[in-house]
Amino acid sequence: MRINVDRDICCGAGMCVLTAPDIFDQSEEDGLVVLLRQPEAAEADAAREATQLCPSGAISVADEED
């Protein structure tokens, strides 16, 4: 799994941070999403939930094949 964020369409709602705070943060300057790191396998569900809860669609998941 690979997470991608598009700060150009982020609205700063913060649902990603509330759902997966070890993966996402918000910039202090503009409140937009910041990807802290790619999720580990055990965090996949939380990362997918954050993607689904994002009101602007600024977060996407790409499944990587081994």
* CATH (domain of 51): 3.30.70.20
* Paired tokens of 60: 């996407």
Q: What is the pTM of this model?
A: 0.91
Count the domains in the chain: 1
Q: How many CB atoms lie within 10 A of CB 28?
A: 7
pLDDT in tens, the chain (66 residues): 999 999 999 999 999 999 999 999 999 999 999 999 999 999 999 999 999 999 999 999 998 765
Q: Which domain holds residue 49?
A: 2-62
Question: What is the reported pLDDT for 63?
Answer: 83
Q: Rounded to whole angstroms, what are the CA distances from 40 to 17, 18, 30, 37?
A: 16, 18, 27, 9
Question: What is the reported pLDDT for 39?
Answer: 97
